[in-house]
Structure 1
Amino acid sequence: MRILQTGDLHAHVFPFDYDHDHPIDTLGLARTASLITAARKEVGNSILLDNGDFLQGSALGDYVAYDRGLRDGDLHPVIAAMNVMRYDAATLGNHEFNFGLPFMMAAIRRSQFPFVSANTLIERGETPHDDKRLLPPYVILNRRIRDKTGKAHPIRIGVLGLLPPQFTTWDETQIDGKLFSRDIVETATALIPEMKAAGADIIVVLAHSGIGERIYSNGMENAAYPLARLPGVDALVTGHTHMLFPSQQFANMPGIDITRGTLEGTPTVMAGFWGSHLGLIDLFLEHKCGKWRVLDSQSSIRAIAETTPDGKRVPLVESSPRVLRAVQHHHDATLDYMRYPVGKTKVPIHSFFALVKDCISVQLICRAQQRFVAQKMKRGPHSSLPILSAAAPFKCGGWGGPENYTNIPAGPLHQRNLSDLYCFPNTICALRLRGADILDWLERSAGIFNHVTRGKHDQPLLNDAFPSYSFDVIYGLTYQIDPSQPPRYCPQGTLINPQSQRIRNLHYKGKPLDLDAYFLVATNNYRSSTRSAIYGADASEVVFAEPINIRTILYNEVTQKPVLDARPLPNWSIAPMPGTSFTFETSPDAARFLADLGNIWIDHLGENANGFGRYRLWP
């Protein structure tokens, strides 16, 4: 029996880059659908599952949520595409809640397949058995499968849905007091025997959770390791981290066999993101004495595109016409929405160098947030506090590839350019923090840089395990980052070198930052909800929050100016290190902007096998 998986689609159906207004061959469920059709034809028995994060993440998803809405009887375009492909079951991801609970429920109401989620709770009981849930925790699919002689046999396939318990915190402005959660492993441990008692012959755990630490801890976000060790789990479908399993990304890790595709001996798969891959688990089953058991397995992934030796991405499949037809109307409406003019810019705006120097793509967000909060807080108990602003470069390559950068040419600005600048549906808030908290926040951000040696040439600068969306820049301050010092925090936010200090010359208005003084920091709701992982919850205070999308704030900022002449102001830099050089990757398109960088020296070194440009920085 073949288990087919999609996951982390993030509302990508058409193979189209709405932010840059052109077709693209590396994403879209319409392309994955062709792989699904081919994989089904190869075997007699298969089921198709999705493990969450399907509603949010593209302009199509944003358009339906914010502009069109879901009117009575409307079919969400992603659900329409999934219905066409005859999914058997799906679970929720954390991003399903970004647009609010009513929208999510309206979207999944018209699915022709069941949604399951065991730890999305409307009331938490003493044990998982006592919990009251938003959706069924699992489904048992009654199927008939054929053996190699063609004889049909009944089989009952149990599918259990799980997601990170942190979703209640990440979207607390949307669901606070309405939904609760429970630990992934605790929930699965309680419900797997219940599923067996209900008649499940085999059990598939459909977990919107990645492969994280091997040792179990309560409340784990990425709990695939301990899930794979639970008795009764016949197959594990993972996601959330946008990685690929089995693949070289997990080579030489304990308990992993990337040849067979097992985690702690359990057949496991993870299918990337945005429809980039299809995940497959082939279970070889035996029916004996009235019971089914798994004799063997093979997990694999199939890509919709490949990278040629010269770094070009070429498609391996065409789009499914049925899926395109199901979503065509919404796709066309999204194009109209994204092409709507909103202003002009005198200078190009891009994020190609946002991880190595001041960047206007980040500062535009910071300035808009700062002015909005200043206007809202000009009266009240905190009106005398200075206002800073924090933002991160969301689109800086990474797993998204060499095209995953903000890139807005000089000239007319359209709605799509605002989406290119700010791709998440975050809302505005402000925190009251001491200078010491802000310093520690910056130390956490500085973990994006590898520990380097002064006087050594061509050292890799960026830690690939640190996502760019965690590299917060705090606007209104000036500071340097010294990566010759060890990082104070690891990429997961754990304190590893308490005495280390990478942040140098931290100033506010030309004077050393007073670590005891209080400031307001404009930021987004996601960062506010995860603040305890950055600088300690006890030291922070949310003093302002409104359900206003930051992209709306950007829109108001841009439309109020006849022409945007945006240039970065001094904010942060890598500390000077004579006789030292670093290498880093960014878009190959960045080379044409090297002459505009001012007092920072960067050389273009060509392209690598993955299509990224290679560059050398002399700090």
Structure 2
Amino acid sequence: MTAPHNLSRRSVLAGMGAASMIALHPFAARAQGNQAHLRLIETTDLHVNLLPYDYYADKPNDTMGLSRTASLIEAVRKEAGNTLLLDNGDLLQGSPMGDWVAYERGMKEGDLHPIIKGMNLLGYEASTLGNHEFNYGLSFLDKVLSGANFPFVCANLVRGTVLASNPREDKLYLKPYVILDKRIVDGAGAEHPIKVGVIGFVPPQIMQWDAKNLSGNVVVRDIVQAAEAWVPQMKEEGADIVVALSHSGIDVEKTENMENAAFFVAGVPGVDAVFTGHQHLIFPGRKDFQGLEGVDPQKGTLQGKPAVMAGFWGSHMGLIDLLLERDGGKWRVASATSEARPIYERKDKANVATVDDDRRVAAAIQPEHEATLAYVRRPVGKTSAPLYSYFALVADDPSVQIVNQAQTWYIKDLLKETEWKDLPVLSAAAPFKSGGRGGPDYYTDVPAGDIAIKNVADLYLYPNTVRALEITGAQVKEWLEMSAGIFKSVEPGKADQPLINLDFPAYNFDVIDGVTYKIDLSQPPKYDPKGVVLNASSNRIRDLSFGGKPIDPQAKFVVASNNYRAGGGGNFPEINESKVIFEAPDTNRDVIVRFIVEEGTINPTADANWSFIGLPDTSVVFDTGPKAKAFLDAVKGVKIETAGEGENGFSRYRILL
């Protein structure tokens, strides 16, 4: 393996020669004899995505992969010799390759995890733990970390079951920090020693998310409390600058044991730069974290300190440039900039790679890549009935049914020891592959029998994460009223009226399982596709019931959904972050895979918990894929018949209301 990348005059001079045609960073261009330019490089939330390949979809994907990020890393090293490469956690779980290692190959003494193999090759200097490091248990984690050529640090993960009265007396699972003794070259070419302190933190919520692996073995201290205790000691030990590896996102509302504490870590005296992550967002950037006091998403600062969040799955490389000055024999930060540099760009509605693979990483990981391909193509369970979405917009559907079953199973288990354990759990899911602009073949279609991991991409296209919301019965009804906006108004007694409003996105047509209801198409939609009230008095949702009785508008329910919907996506009435009670660390795809493995054989047969109100002498028409005919007899709760050819290769069907 390649030794960690050192800060040396030789590498600086070589880099300057190789990059003679590259525009120097302003810090490098203007650094004087008592100044030096140091580049801190971040990866975060890699989730075992080493190559630009989506194993769920079983095809290449230019938005991901450490082999692509590695090319950016090497380019930065050539631009400036003074560099440190650090990782911010969530390394071991999140792609089928991680599951293959944990569940198939295993970790024997001396084995190298593929993510560690790639990181050793690139010469990382340090890393911290993310919440997903614990998904396979502590023994697995220990074996993985033993293969690293660099230290892992975490200042708030404590062995045992009790926190000490003084954080410095905690029996930590790992070293809280490391102080790297490096050599740095100043603006005049002279070499000097510098001590770079690196400290790490993990979200306290791991005790809830991975209780089965952690309870009785470890406890977790508040992130900010740990930082306030250990950073002064780092300074006492001579750290010139302190870099915080905060596997924690950005939130400006301080609470005890907060999950996203990076903003307050930046405010701890002595911290000079913050690597943040966990939220899978971009900082600095144009879209995320706007309007938060003390957060500058253009400059990339938190409470005035430079910070960066480099997306997820290797989509970006985080970069903090520091202009350092010598002050009485010590180095201090005089100025800083930060950047999240992407590995791809969006052109003509397509993702286009901006860098090639680092061939060393790609070649080193090839055996694991081939093994993972075989793993995702092999069955992990069975389905007792076909999974298809040809009628997902007009009837209760098996492809949506199985997503709701998996989400309900997952959330019930995670909430069973919480204050919400006695509330009924519902689940909301929408069809993703339902024709439309995708064409007449753009549908989920998985036959009964063996089901492989890659089939999950047919069930759930997007890398959403699971969320749970607490809402009332009245809000359940309004959620469904918004969903019912996908249907056009129908005039009773008239034949073959168009049913689907094509301006309404199918991914906003949520079906809620756990309740039963009917949709009255003779009523106009209450909301438009953007959530604006069109007809305040309209009531399309009829006979809404829970447990066989009319739903109580005041009753409280937990609804399992995803981060898009829970964050306000789709503009559903009153459905937003304020209703979220639980932010799961797992993607909806992962939950479906786990559910299939747990069940062995899944039963996705739709239970017809929703249907249309009958309207005499009335029919509507809709278009779907030509392969739908094979499943026509299996549709429950609605009378459907063929009605000829549709446009652009689609087939037309009629519903007799």
Which residue in the other structure is 2:274 paired with? 236
Q: Does 1:554 align with 2:596?
A: yes
Q: Check 1:303–1:572 CA distance in 2 against 1; reply closer, same or farther (3 A cut).
A: farther
1:224, distance to aligned residue in structure 2 (A): 2.0
- Calculate the TM-score normalised by the size of structure 2: 0.66
1:389, distance to aligned residue in structure 2 (A): 6.7
Cα deviation digits, residues 499-518 of structure 1 (max 9, x gap) = xxx99854146532479999
Counterpart Cα distance in 1 of 2:376 and 2:135: 20
Q: Check 1:193–1:503 CA distance in 2 against 1; reply closer, same or farther (3 A cut).
A: farther
After superposing the two structures, state which structure 1 stretch, 124-133 or 338-347, moved more: 338-347
Which residue in the other structure is 2:186 paired with? 147
1:259, distance to aligned residue in structure 2 (A): 3.6
After superposing the two structures, state which structure 1 stretch, 252-261 or 275-284, moved more: 252-261
1:394, distance to aligned residue in structure 2 (A): 10
Which residue in the other structure is 1:66 paired with? 103
The 5 A counterparts of 1:116-515 are 116-122=153-159, 123-212=162-251, 214-249=252-287, 250-308=289-347, 310-341=348-379, 349=388, 360-367=398-405, 390-391=426-427, 393=429, 408-411=444-447, 414-417=451-454, 419-420=456-457, 421=459, 439=472, 473-475=512-514, 477-478=516-517, 505-508=543-546, 510-513=548-551
1:361, distance to aligned residue in structure 2 (A): 3.2
Is the 2:480–2:511 Cα contact (8 Å) retained in structure 1?
Answer: no
Q: Check 1:254–1:438 CA distance in 2 against 1; reply closer, same or farther (3 A cut).
A: closer
Please give the secondary structure, in 2, of the residue aligned with 1:209. coil
Is the 2:272–2:333 Cα contact (8 Å) retained in structure 1?
Answer: yes
Output the amino acid matched with 1:554: I
Which residue in the other structure is 1:494 paired with? none
Is the 1:64–1:76 Cα contact (8 Å) retained in structure 2?
Answer: yes
Q: Does 1:36 align with 2:78?
A: no
1:258, distance to aligned residue in structure 2 (A): 3.4
Is the 1:441–1:535 Cα contact (8 Å) retained in structure 2?
Answer: no
Cα deviation digits, residues 205-228 of structure 1 (max 9, x gap) = 11011111x242222111122222
Q: Check 1:362–1:389 CA distance in 2 against 1; reply closer, same or farther (3 A cut).
A: farther
Which residue in the other structure is 2:573 paired with? none
Q: Check 1:159–1:133 CA distance in 2 against 1; reply closer, same or farther (3 A cut).
A: same
Counterpart Cα distance in 2 of 1:372 and 1:57: 16
Q: Check 1:390–1:50 CA distance in 2 against 1; reply closer, same or farther (3 A cut).
A: farther
Counterpart Cα distance in 2 of 1:515 and 1:256: 39
Match for residue 84 of structure 2 among 33, 41, 47:
47
1:417, distance to aligned residue in structure 2 (A): 3.5
Is the 1:408–1:417 Cα contact (8 Å) retained in structure 2?
Answer: no
Q: Check 1:522–1:8 CA distance in 2 against 1; reply closer, same or farther (3 A cut).
A: closer
Which residue in the other structure is 2:23 paired with? none
Counterpart Cα distance in 2 of 1:104 and 1:272: 24
Output the amino acid matched with 1:271: A
Counterpart Cα distance in 2 of 1:394 and 1:83: 42
Counterpart Cα distance in 2 of 1:352 and 1:275: 37
1:568, distance to aligned residue in structure 2 (A): 6.8
Output the amino acid matched with 1:43: A
1:475, distance to aligned residue in structure 2 (A): 3.3
Cα deviation digits, residues 417-467 of structure 1 (max 9, x gap) = 45435899xxxxxxxxxxx988579759959989x9xx9xx9x999x9xxx
Q: Check 1:2–1:441 CA distance in 2 against 1; reply closer, same or farther (3 A cut).
A: farther
Q: Check 1:85–1:371 CA distance in 2 against 1; reply closer, same or farther (3 A cut).
A: closer
Counterpart Cα distance in 2 of 1:217 and 1:373: 24
Output the amino acid matched with 2:354: L
Is the 2:382–2:450 Cα contact (8 Å) retained in structure 1?
Answer: yes
1:34, distance to aligned residue in structure 2 (A): 0.7
Please give the secondary structure, in 2, of the residue aligned with 1:38. helix
Is the 1:422–1:551 Cα contact (8 Å) retained in structure 2?
Answer: no
Is the 2:274–2:306 Cα contact (8 Å) retained in structure 1?
Answer: yes
Please give the secondary structure, in 2, of the residue aligned with 1:132. coil
Is the 1:2–1:281 Cα contact (8 Å) retained in structure 2?
Answer: yes
Output the amino acid matched with 2:181: N
CA RMSD of aligned residues (A): 5.0
Is the 1:208–1:238 Cα contact (8 Å) retained in structure 2?
Answer: yes
Counterpart Cα distance in 1 of 2:123 and 2:243: 18
Counterpart Cα distance in 2 of 1:275 and 1:285: 28
Greater Rg over alpha carbons, structure: 2
Counterpart Cα distance in 1 of 2:165 and 2:555: 44
Q: Check 1:165–1:512 CA distance in 2 against 1; reply closer, same or farther (3 A cut).
A: same
- Count matched residues: 507
Counterpart Cα distance in 1 of 2:410 and 2:199: 44
Is the 2:286–2:298 Cα contact (8 Å) retained in structure 1?
Answer: no
Q: Check 1:340–1:9 CA distance in 2 against 1; reply closer, same or farther (3 A cut).
A: same
Counterpart Cα distance in 2 of 1:248 and 1:554: 39
Which residue in the other structure is 2:585 paired with? none
Q: Check 1:571–1:472 CA distance in 2 against 1; reply closer, same or farther (3 A cut).
A: closer
Output the amino acid matched with 2:103: Y
Output the amino acid matched with 1:226: F
Which residue in the other structure is 1:585 paired with? none
Q: Structure 1: 5+ residue runs without aligned partners? A: 375-385, 425-435, 486-501, 524-532, 538-547, 574-589, 601-619
Cα deviation digits, residues 224-255 of structure 1 (max 9, x gap) = 22222221111011001011011012344322
1:10, distance to aligned residue in structure 2 (A): 1.1
Counterpart Cα distance in 1 of 2:411 and 2:310: 40
Counterpart Cα distance in 2 of 1:278 and 1:351: 40
Counterpart Cα distance in 1 of 2:133 and 2:430: 19
- Calculate the TM-score normalised by the size of structure 1: 0.69
1:104, distance to aligned residue in structure 2 (A): 1.4
Counterpart Cα distance in 2 of 1:144 and 1:448: 64
1:395, distance to aligned residue in structure 2 (A): 10
Please give the secondary structure, in 2, of the residue aligned with 1:111. coil
1:136, distance to aligned residue in structure 2 (A): 0.7
Q: Check 1:302–1:560 CA distance in 2 against 1; reply closer, same or farther (3 A cut).
A: closer
Cα deviation digits, residues 588-607 of structure 1 (max 9, x gap) = xx99799999899xxxxxxx
Q: Structure 2: 5+ residue runs without aligned partners? A: 1-37, 413-421, 463-468, 489-500, 529-539, 562-577, 583-589, 613-622, 630-634, 641-657
Output the amino acid matched with 1:172: A
1:74, distance to aligned residue in structure 2 (A): 1.3
Is the 1:57–1:423 Cα contact (8 Å) retained in structure 2?
Answer: no
Please give the secondary structure, in 1, of the residue aligned with 2:250. coil
Q: Check 1:522–1:30 CA distance in 2 against 1; reply closer, same or farther (3 A cut).
A: closer
Counterpart Cα distance in 2 of 1:373 and 1:237: 30
Q: Check 1:593–1:388 CA distance in 2 against 1; reply closer, same or farther (3 A cut).
A: farther
Counterpart Cα distance in 1 of 2:174 and 2:291: 38
